[in-house]
Amino acid sequence: MARKPRRQTYPLETYLKKMANESIRSDQDVQRLSGQWDNNMVNELMVTVLKDDYIPPIILGEEQREDTTQLWIIEGLQRSTSLSRFRYGNYKITSSVEDYMIEYQREVVDENGEVKRDAEGNIVRELLEFDVRNKTYNGLPEELKNRFDEYQIETVIHEECTMQEMSKLVRRYNNHKSMNASQRAFTYIENFARDIRNITGEHRFFKDFDNYSQKERDNGTLERIVTESAMAVFHLEHWQKQSKRMDSYLNEHASKEEFAVLREYFDRLEAILDTKTAQLFNSKNTFIWVALFAKFTELGETDRRFAEFLQAFMEKLHAVEVDEETFDTIDANRCTKDKAVVKKKLALLEKLMKEYFAGKIPSEHFAEKTSSVYSVGKTGIEDFIRQVVKADVREEDVELYREVLEDLTLNVDNSSELLEEQNLPSLLAIVAYSFEKELDLDQWIVDFFQRNRHYRKDQRENYLYMKKDVERYLKKGG
């Protein structure tokens, strides 16, 4: 019968010293390598310790040897090595950390350097704040150094394990999936999260139409669609390309009334859409059509007229030129979530809709060929990713890869030739590869763009080149 795991708590400094002298080892046979976390994750962990907040227990395995025992890290390797990196490795908390002001107390001293006491003889202390951005451990005040060193790190120890048993434990404790970009962004809109979940979980609009896959329902895509719709309808001038920034903005500036109006729009749309026109409301463009419907409600037309416009759009209007551009050409743009692109799409659709209702679109203005990038989807890119990365990739997967790529390229030179439309297949493929291998590309892509100005026209060759570069970068500890 297996022994019940025991709990043991160490001061953090003691725990890290045990790692340094290998009383606790971090290289169990099947454990993945350290360095998997990006700077944001390391930042948040350091702030958690400095604020004396909660960290889940670290799981250790105790190997029984002839005359001694050896502890191995089973789960919590990234936390352990990140803490050690800050304490001994001169890691600097970056400027992107969210909660950067840390409160602490300090004894008040007089002009002679003596500790002040009150009338009852108690030591007088003052409450101070310290900005931890761009600070290493050595840059902290002594009070925060002490708080870090004395932090109580809890461990759970599985006793009398063989290496084979510990490998099973590694599999068991690491059998989980981290939050994706949409799910993590949703944590920044706590003021309206319940309103959004009520819409995505209960509304017939999201239940009756087969536009969204089960994967999209599970991975936070529907919640992102609602927040994008709220932003496009009520706060377009403050549109944020990055989901986290968008949700943070709405959390501060949105209202319950806005989400009630949004729910009404979904009610009305659900009543007029059929299986064909509902196809327009996919994970990429639903927010655009909801925002257009908000514009439509100001025209005084019956909702059925909007359904007629959607039908005409699918048949031919998507290829009609407005100010020398069609919806198809704009929709093919790589940066579909850029504020300028979003506003251009809406302006074109609003003008197209008003001209359609006014009968101002003569038949000769229709493009002869109605098949387009929009109507056929990005099948070329999907096929490419299927060939080089993942055989069962779907359209909603590609849209998620696009969203991640847009976030990844926020900190690179956006005039780079690497961001040209012709290079998009290989860029999306490398994002798909990172999903398959659970790799973090945040730092690599910035480094890659600094080292490369051109790309190979053969996208398969370019993808393989980037794949090797990622592997080399991570192998070197990048």
- Residue-wise pLDDT tens digits, 113-136: 889 998 888 999 999 999 999 999
pLDDT at 394 over 90: no
Q: Which residue in this structure is represented by tokens 């000769």?
A: 364
Tens digits of residue pLDDT in 417-473 = 898 888 999 999 999 999 888 888 988 999 999 989 888 888 988 999 999 999 888
Which of 223-227, 349-353, 360-364 has the lowest average pLDDT? 360-364
For 291, phi then psi, to 5°, come to: -65, -35
Q: Are strands 58-64 and 152-161 parallel, antiparallel or unpaired?
A: parallel
Mean pLDDT of the chain: 87
pLDDT at 369: 39
Average pLDDT over residues 74-82: 93
Region 402-411 average pLDDT? 85
Listed range (155-164, 230-239, 291-300) with the worst mean pLDDT: 155-164
Residue 177 banded pLDDT, cuts 50, 70, 90: low
Cα(441)–Cα(216) distance, rounded to whole angstroms?
22
- Banded pLDDT at 45 (limits 50, 70, 90): very high
pLDDT band at 362; cut points 50, 70, 90: low
Residue 306 clears pLDDT 90, i.e. is over it: yes
Tell me what pLDDT residue 39 has. Answer: 86
Dump the DSSP string for 32-87: PPS--S-HHHHHHHHHHHHTT---PPEEEEEEE-SS-EEEEEEE-HHHHHHHHHHH
pTM (2 d.p.): 0.58
List the one residue out of 313, 460, 291, 285 whose CA is nearest residue 377: 285
Q: pLDDT for 307-342, tens place per residue?
A: 999 999 988 888 888 888 888 888 876 667 889 989
1 pLDDT more than 70: no
* Contact by Cβ (8 Å): 229, 263: no
Closest CA to 283 of 428, 403, 393: 403
Q: Are 19 and 80 in contact (CB under 8 A)?
A: yes
Q: What is the pLDDT of residue 478?
A: 57
Q: Residue 70 phi/psi, 5° resolution?
A: -130, 130
How far is it, in rounded angstroms, from Cα 474 to Cα 394? 28
Contacting residues for 143 by C-beta, under 8 A, at least 6 apart: 104, 105, 106
Which tokens is 362 given? 């003569």
**What local confidence, expressed as pLDDT, does residue 448 receive?**
92
pLDDT computed for residue 178 by the predictor: 66
